[in-house]
Each structure stands twice: as structure tokens, then as C-alpha cells.
Structure 1
Amino acid sequence: MGKSQKEEKYKKIHFAISQLYDILSKILSGLPVNDAIRTSVLSRKWKYVWCSHTNLTLNKGTMRKPYVLTLTPYRWRWLRDYEFITRVDAVLRQHSGMGVQRMEIKFRLHSKHADHIDRWVNFVIASKTKELVINLSGHDKGSFFTELSQGIRIIKEPPYNLPSQLLSPSYGSYLRCLELTTVSLQLPADFKGFLNLKILSLVDMSITDEDVQCMLSKCNLLEFLDISYCRMVTSIRMLHPLDRLKHLVVDNCRNLKEIELNCSPTTLKFSGTMVPLIFASTSRLTNINIVFITYQSALSYIITGFPSTLPRLETLTLHCAERERTIVPEGPFKFTYLRNLRLELVLSGHENTRKTNVLDYAYILEIAPFMETLELSMWAMNCRHRPYREEDGELRIVGPPHQHAHLKSVRISGFFGHKDQVELALHILRSSVVLEKMVITPKPEIDNDMAFLDCSHEKKHYLDGHRVATEFVCKTDHRNVVTVERVVPEPADGEVARKRRRAN
């Protein structure tokens, strides 16, 4: 074999090995970083493969301590901040720093750890990471809602302040996704923007209105924007066109007074008190999810509020706590594009004081003639109405019944068997000529982290709700489309403890 032939053979072998190395690198990048590191003990050839890991997720799960044997079964040991820092430093020190596509730092840290976090940020900049997540609360977003709704006051240390080099043009041009939680951000005077940024999330941030506006004005390719739990933000206002912004999330910014953006989003998720929602155009807006944390009539808002101006709305989810009954206006208003509707109603008041009337929502079938799916989730807060009985009087009929030709699927939850709930279920059943299924369940199914509201006194009404639905709704179901779910009340905490003691 000649010299040229040997060289060609070695080139092919080297190419095959490099291809194998690339395949291994891709496989390991699909594993959590701690599992990828463990593969280094398999052989000498595998020792450094993980060092090109492209997805660095650094949190209490991936940086955890090993199992320890205690009096109870095996449990994870608590990970302290200095231990987390030491482990992250070890990972980044061994990593090649090349090809990092995404890096996530999620742990409860603050300003006193600035020197360490600055070192990690420098790694991010040097590696030209395209997707950066810095969450120094250590928790998921839902925990902020729980703290807010339950009035939990957590004393916080001063937040970590992002260094200016992270905002420099030399690195900013690489960023595609930036998610920041529980940090402080002050834009430098010469901020040039993130020219290729498509996803921006600011949660529990210390940031001013002016810096929010400045940042948005220099992110021309932005497609997704999330501003949540930012107490300093009072106005989200941007007259500079955001032509590519499709998805907007504004969640519980307690001091927010207005939203005015020069954009035309397709989806909107908003939680908080009612504020003006002004966009350059709403012609593309097809999906909205609104949660009001103050009292507001859902039906009134649908008819006279923001949704009524949306010509192409297809999916609407609305959560309201209702205190007053709505006077339904007469008029030609129609949701001609609405296909999916989910309403979450928190009904307040005792048996003789509740002013709301669930039967009013029969009007939905008139104003949404092409609706295909309807979910009505109710939670009767302090509503100790007794379940309906025949001696309570005849059931009302809204008539003549509107013949709805498109509604196929209905789900009613939180059905305790109150008279107005029965009347609405019967109206939907009579009016929906193509209905394929109606599911009724006594258990409340309120979303948006409201599960803690499920009080024990409501569970006593699960059997009543099932009985009333079976007796008064199923008996008029001549098409066999109604299903009533049986819910077994869960035992109270004290009862669970007693059962455990007996078992032991």
C-alpha cells in the first residue's frame, strides 16, 4: 500500500471517528447535564465527550447531591447555595465552552452571590449562548401567583443586578431567547438592543417602565413577550412598531395601569385588574386568555369589553369572580368566528344573598352561533345553596329555545345541583341540535393555580350534584349524550392521618 493510499485510509478512519464523536455529542446533549457527566467513567474515549454538551440546565435537580440513608427511606439531601455554586463552577470549568445552544441557571440566589453569577455570565458571553434562562427565584412561575393570592409576604434579599456586558452589542446579536426571573436590570445609555431576539420573558423583575420601553424599541424581531409579577412596571407602552410580535403574556403586574403596543398579536394572556388594552390592530387576535383578580362579570365583559371588538376571535378563556348579576343588552352583536369558549366563574354569596344567576349564560348560545366546544367551570365560594328539589318550584325555560347548529361538546364542572345550574344545563341540552357529548362533574376545575380554593365543605356536595344531574338532566336526555361523573369525596387531612395510624 502506497503512502498516498495510507494517508487516504487514515483520513477515512479519522472522519469516521469524528462522525462517531459528533453522534455521541448529540446523544449526550439530549441528557440532563449530570447524567451526561456520568458517562465520562464508561471509557477513556467517553471521558471528554460530555464537555461539548449544548444544553446546560443547572438547577437543584441536575446539581443535586446523591442519595443518603436516613431513618426514613432514601431521600435527596438539601442543596445549599454554596454547594450549588461549587457544582456549577466545576461543570463550567470542565466544559469546552463551545457550541452551547441553551443555558439555564435556576436556583435561589441574590446580590451577595454576584461574583459567582458574574463568572457564569462571562461563560455565557464567551460561549455565545443563543438561549439564556436566569431564574434566581429557584421556583416556577406559578409560585408567584400562590404568594400573591394567599397574601404570603416573603422578605427578599436585594436582587442580583445583570452586568452591562450581557447587554453589549457583541453578545446581544447572538441571543434568540432571554428569560429573566428575580433579577435587576438597568439598561446602559448606549444600549443597542438584541437584534435577533425572538423570545423575551421578564418575571419578578426590578425594571422601570422606561427600560421596558427602550428594550422593546430595539428588539425588532420579537415574537413572544412575557412581563409578569413586575411590581415596578406601571405602563407597557411602545409606539414603535413590533410587526412580528405574535404572543403577549402580561401576568399580575399589580401596579400596571395601561397596555398600549403598536402590534397585532395572535394570542393574548392577561391576568390582573382590568386595564385598557390598546393595540395597533386586533385583526390577527384569535386566542385570548384573561383572568381578573378583582370582581367582574364575565358575561358583561364578553359583551361590552375587549373581546367584543375582536372580529376573528376563535378561542376565549375567561376567569372572573362574580358578585353582581349582568343585565344582558339587546343588539345584533355576534362572535361569528368563536369556536371554543372556556369560562371560569367564581360565584360568591350565601343562599339568600347570591345575586348572580348562572342561567344568564344561556345568552352565550345566541351571540356565538358557530361555537363548537363550551367549558363552564364553576366554583361556588361560600354559596351554601341546597341542591334543587321539585318543591323548590318549576325550572325556568329561556324561550323560545335558540337552535344552535354547531355546538358538539360541553363540559360543566363545579355542578353542585343548584337550581340555576340545572336550568342552564337543560337549556344547552335542548338548544344544541348536533350535540355529541355533555359531561357534568360536581368537582370544581378552576385553573390558574386556584386549586387551593377547593374547600372541604364543597366535597360534601359532590353526591348531591351527581344525584341532581342524574335526576333532572339525564331524564330529559333522549339522545344519550349526557355523562355524569361520580366524584368520591377525598377524606380530610385528619381522617387520612387516622387511617395511616390504623394501618401501622
Structure 2
Amino acid sequence: MTKRNIGSDEDLRLHRTMVKRKKQGLQLTNLPTDILCSILSQLPIKEAVRTSILSEQWKCLWHHHPNLVFTLSSMLPIPRTLPLTPNDDELRKHEFTQRVDAVLQQHSGVGVENVQFRAPFEDDQRDQINRWVNFAIASKAKQLIFDFLTASPMRPPYNFDLRLLDDSNSLHLRCKTLFRFSQGTNITDDDLQLLVSSCCVLELLGIASCRMLTRVQLSHPSNPLKHLHVHDCRLLQAMELNFGLVELEYSGPSILLSPPGTLLLKNMCIELNDMCPSLEYIFTKLDNNVPRLEMLTLHCTESKRASLPGKLHKFSYLKHLRLELTFLGAPRSKSDILDFACL
């Protein structure tokens, strides 16, 4: 059998060089470190940590991950058997705590944009939670979200210490959310006022199920708040809003907006859980407070015809209006569709 001649020595050298270049071009590790870190930032933190076993070069890349989102589903495997016993719940919370602590202890604390903790924790885990809050503050995270929906209504929910977010510690925060805590939180009017006054760059505030709130007061002249979401605060009676607010989402009883002057509000989404005619709410509750309103979504229950003032305010800037109305009562008490011609 004759050997096949595949070319000269020069051809062989050229072939080997091309193969070598192709192999080198396929190496992900040849990319600059900042690009590799950017790629890792698109992964959940658990998956990013797993890349540390690839090589010595990858071992520490995840230490600069900007999005630290810790949830039971992302940090722990799905339980094999359901429902879980109380002992199973405690074991899962303990394992969750250990994994979160391990990540935070190895993280550099640099370049953090978003920190979220979502797990069923109660007040007896206060030390662990405060430790996580301190990490988020020290890392200068711009967004900090807590959702400690407790699994047991018989156990006291986590009592958030607002002193952790005083003025000197929270200057970097640009988005803060007070989310739903079990049967509600024990945050009072004074607590909320302290929180808002201590955050001089706060632009978005979401409040849900804060059952002790009776008044939301945000009318401080230097308050930069632009977006406010308030839901399911059943004792709320009034809201004093800051002049620069541009978006308001609200669900609850019909209350009066009492700003220090006319608002810059452009977008409102209101869902009233009591019986208040929509037109009556628009022309008596909103009235002259929102002259620049451009978008209004209103959910109401209509049980009677609206009683309107003699002179109606004109919403000169209103571009989008959506009314979702539920009609109750006898036919004579229902609203007349022609009533809405005044809009």
C-alpha cells in the first residue's frame, strides 16, 4: 500500500497553524475579564457560583455578580414530598440561610446593583436578616427588596428596623419596596415618615398590606419621589403627596388626595374597594389636584348615580381614560351612560 502524499512541509506547517488558531479562537477563557463578568451577570447567582469549578481563572469571577437574588426556589432543590412538615420548613430555612451566608461572605461587595431576599422568615430570624441588610447597605446596592412572607400566621412577622436605613446609610438607594409581610406589617405613620425623610434619592416606593398606616405623608419640599404604589392598607385615611410625583397606583377605600398644591401627576391607576361612583370620585376627589393628568385608569363599583358639583373641572391634558365599572342595585339606581358625556 502506498502512502498518500498530503503536501510539502510548508503545507503541513500552514495547516497546523490554522488548526491552532481555530482552537484558540474557540476558547471562552481568552475573553477579557470584564466581558466574562458581564456574561456571568446574566445568570442567576446560584448558576454563576457553579462556574467557579471550571478552572482557576473562573474561580473568583462570580465574586462581582451585580444581581444577588435569593429565593427558596432559586437556592434550594424542589422538595420531594409535599406538604412539608414544620420540621421540614425549619430545615429548609436553615439550609437557605447557610447558602446565602456562604455567597455573601465570598462576594466582593463591589458593583452590586440589585439585592433581593424572598423567603418565609419571621422575627426570630432577625439577626440573620439584619446581617443581610448590612451587607446590602455596605455594598451600596441601588435596589433592595425584602419579601418575608411567613409560612405561619401564628408567628410574629419580621420587625424591620428602619434605623438600618438612616440618611447616612441609604443615600445610594434608588428603589426601595415595602412588600407584603404575612398578615401585615407593624409599620406606623411615623415609621414611614422616618423612612422617606431618610432617603434623599428615593424615586419609587411601594407599600402593601401595611395594616397600621392611617396617613401617607410625602409632601416634604425636597422629596424626590416620582412613583408611589399603595395597596391594601385598610386603615389609610389620607395621602399628602409631594409636588414632583408623576405616577400613582392605589387600591383601597376612597380617600382624598391632599397635596400642598397642584400635583404634576401624569399617570394614575385607582382601584376603589368601596362603593363610590366613578364620576363623583373624579370630580370631587381628584378635582383640581391633578391638572396635568394624562392617563387615568379607574376601577369602581357603581351603586347610585353620581352627585356632581355645578362647575366641573376640565382635564385638558387627559389622553387615555379607562373605566372598569361594576354596576349594582336596582335598574333605577344605575348610572346613565349619558352621565359620562361630561368627560
Q: TM-score range by the shorter chain?
A: 0.7 to 0.9
Match of 2:338 among 340, 362, 377: 362
Amino acid across the alignment from 2:246:
T
1:82 aligned partner: 94
Answer yes or no: is 1:180 the counterpart of 2:178: yes
Within 5 Å, which residues of 2 pair with 1:114-129?
114-129=126-141
Residues 188-245 of structure 1: CA deviation (Å, up to 9, x unaligned): xxxxxxxxxxxxxxx9432221222233334333322333221111122355314533
Amino acid across the alignment from 2:280:
S
Are the counterparts in 2 of residues 182 and 206 from structure 1 also a CA contact under 8 Å? no
Identity of aligned residues (%): 41
Give every structure 1 segment of 4 or more consecutive aligned residues whose post-TM-superposition deviation is greater than 4 Å.
Answer: 327-333
Q: Give the alignment's TM-score, normalised by structure 1.
A: 0.54
The SS at the match of 1:210 is helix
Kindly state the Cα deviation for residue 343 of structure 1 after the two structures are TM-superposed: 0.7
Q: Give the alignment's TM-score, normalised by structure 2.
A: 0.77
Amino acid across the alignment from 1:269:
E
1:25 aligned partner: 37
Answer yes or no: is 1:337 the counterpart of 2:317: yes
Residues 58-103 of structure 1: CA deviation (Å, up to 9, x unaligned): 00232131686x8xxxxxx988322222221232233233332221
Kindly state the Cα deviation for residue 136 of structure 1 after the two structures are TM-superposed: 0.8
Task: Note the aligned Cα RMSD (angstroms).
Answer: 3.2
Q: How far apart are the structure 2 equivalents of 1:165 and 1:300?
A: 42
Within 5 Å, which residues of 2 pair with 1:207-356?
207-307=187-287, 309-326=289-306, 331=311, 333-349=313-329, 353-356=330-333
Amino acid across the alignment from 1:367:
C
Are the counterparts in 2 of residues 289 and 318 from structure 1 also a CA contact under 8 Å? yes
Q: Which runs of 5+ in 1 are unaligned?
A: 1-16, 71-76, 140-153, 185-202, 369-504
Within 5 Å, which residues of 2 pair with 1:460-475?
none
Are the counterparts in 2 of residues 159 and 183 from structure 1 also a CA contact under 8 Å? yes
Q: How far apart are the structure 1 equivalents of 2:317 and 2:168?
A: 46
Distance 1:160 1:291, change over 3 A: same
Kindly state the Cα deviation for residue 283 of structure 1 after the two structures are TM-superposed: 4.5
Are the counterparts in 1 of residues 283 and 312 from structure 2 also a CA contact under 8 Å? no
Amino acid across the alignment from 1:175:
L
The SS at the match of 1:299 is helix
2:19 aligned partner: none
Match of 1:157 among 146, 150, 155: 155
Kindly state the Cα deviation for residue 248 of structure 1 after the two structures are TM-superposed: 2.2
Kindly state the Cα deviation for residue 276 of structure 1 after the two structures are TM-superposed: 1.9
Q: Which has the higher contact order (CA 8 A, sep 6+)?
A: 2
The SS at the match of 2:74 is coil
Are the counterparts in 2 of residues 264 and 280 from structure 1 also a CA contact under 8 Å? no
Are the counterparts in 2 of residues 271 and 291 from structure 1 also a CA contact under 8 Å? yes
Answer yes or no: is 1:36 the counterpart of 2:36: no
1:198 aligned partner: none
2:144 aligned partner: 132
Aligned positions, number: 309
